[in-house]
Amino acid sequence: MADFRKVRTVFLDRDGTINVKAADGEYVTAPEELVLLPGAAKAVAALNAAGLRTVLVTNQRWLSEPAADAAGFTAVQDRLERLLADEGARLDAVYHCPHAAASCDCRKPGAGMLVRAARELGFALAESVMIGDSESDMLAGRAAGTATVLLRAGGAEADGADAVADDLAAAVRLILSGRESGLA
């Protein structure tokens, strides 16, 4: 089990972690398609209340397609931030990879987005945790040197994750209780 006592920053995947994931092969490309998962906003608010930095890191490969409209991503993100704010939650930073697979160093499972965030925001990756619903989230966290928490709902294998939780709310409870007790 991970020791969450040192955690100061929480990296959050978006689709399948904070909001309902689109069907396989599809993407959340319009604001009306974005629906928060139950308890997600309250979980982010709990991180905020505990003084932890929250950084969204999300692959958005659909933006690499010729017909993609970057304004769609911005509109979806705006809706996400409004829905979170409605429940007293906020994201401190948002990083996204708009590239097709294997065409960059920022796309998860690479660590590029996490490393960039740590450099730009001035924090230690060793004092961070990556929460997500996929193997690529866990691999990105591992590559960056963070602790990792896998959400079971994504169906990914737990191999390589420091901890496993049913959903974002459970992951946040695990991290916050670990910070208080030093156990996870």
Establish if 184 belongs to a structural domain. Answer: no
In a domain, 103, yes or no: yes
Residue 27 in domain: yes
Q: Check: CB of residue 93 under 8 Å from CB of residue 111.
A: no
Q: For 73-124, how does the pLDDT look when each residue is reduced to its tens digit (9 = 90+)?
A: 889 999 999 999 999 999 999 998 876 777 788 878 999 999 999 999 999 9
Indicate the number of domains in the chain. 1
Angle at which helices 168-181 and 40-49 pack, to 10 degrees?
Answer: 20
Q: CA-to-CA distance for 46 and 33, rounded, in angstroms?
A: 25
Distance CA 132, CA 173 (A): 15
Q: Which of 15, 133, 137, 162 is catalytic?
A: 15
Return the pLDDT at 92. Answer: 99
Please give the backbone phi and psi of residue 179, each rounded to the nearest 5 degrees, phi first.
-70, -35
Active site residue 166: no
- Catalytic-role residue among 13, 137, 162, 167: 13
Per residue in 13-44, is it b (16+ CB within 10 Å) or e — as a string?
Answer: bbbbbbbebeeeeebbbebeebebbeebbbbb
Is residue 4 within 8 A of residue 184, CB to CB? The reply is yes
* Rounded Cα distance, 63 and 29, in Å: 9
Residue 169 lies in a domain: yes
Q: Is 13 among the residues known to form the active site?
A: yes
- By residue range, what is the domain housing residue 70? 7-179
| CATH number of the structural domain spanning residue 66 | 3.40.50.1000
Q: Which residue has the higher pLDDT, 165 or 158?
A: 165
pTM (whole model) above 0.85:
yes
Residue 1, in any domain of the structure: no
- pLDDT-based confidence at 151, cuts 50/70/90? very high
Confidence grade of residue 161 (pLDDT, cut at 50, 70, 90):
very high
Q: Is residue 2 part of a domain?
A: no
